[in-house]
Amino acid sequence: MTRKTKETDITVELSLNGGGIGADTGVGFFDHMLTTMAFHAGWGLAVRADGDLGVDAHHTVEDVGIVLGQVLREALPENRARFGHAFVPMDEALGFAAADAGGRAFLRFDAAFPNRLLGGYDTALTKEFFRALCHNAMLTLHLRVEGEDAHHMTEALFKAAGAALRRACSPQAGAGAVSTKGVF
């Protein structure tokens, strides 16, 4: 899927069944986070983004979340497991993610990063990315992290989100939506 605006040009290819992983957004730390999330989700992922990085990385990071969310929503199997969760320790940091791929968009984000910048990456963009992902994939994520090192904390969140989404998006035996309503 491709999305072009006056601020960004984003292309995302996603396979829930694995494959190669690569991200080229012009924001090195964000590329690292996308790669680690896809790895722990078991996805094949290719992301290419050209954004107005001369302003800052906000539009690029948010728009990647929008497009990845749209692609994920289209790729979800009808018989998906729906729920997933994961705890990920990264040295002193501990990240937690709980996911519901049941068709309702919501983000609960609990993180207080000790410093705002990781190289050229603003840690405040982590919440923006996940908000865009949730609203466009129509999924609920609860993300929480504790720690002392912003790099470890951010990476623990992306890894935990990937692991939780791996479980939530995986096909279940049988047919139909895992919902008492019978639909997502």
In a domain, 113, yes or no: yes
Task: At 144, list the tokens.
Answer: 């929480």
Q: How many domains does the chain have?
A: 1
In a domain, 174, yes or no: no
pTM: 0.94
Q: Which helix (H) or strand (E) holds 110?
A: strand 106-110
In a domain, 115, yes or no: yes
- Half-sphere CA count of 131, side-chain side, radius 13 A: 11
**For position 25, which CATH number holds?**
3.30.230.40
Domain that holds residue 115: 2-169
Task: Report pLDDT digits (tens) over 74-118.
Answer: 999 988 999 999 999 999 999 999 999 999 999 999 999 999 999
Task: Report pLDDT digits (tens) over 167-183.
Answer: 999 987 666 555 555 55
In a domain, 178, yes or no: no
In a domain, 184, yes or no: no
Q: Which residues contact 106 (CB under 8 A, 6 or more apart)?
A: 134, 140, 141
Q: Which residues contact 145 (CB under 8 A, 6 or more apart)?
A: 93, 94, 95, 96, 110, 111, 153, 154, 156, 157, 160
In a domain, 111, yes or no: yes
36-43 mean pLDDT:
98
- The 8-class DSSP code of residue 166 comes to H
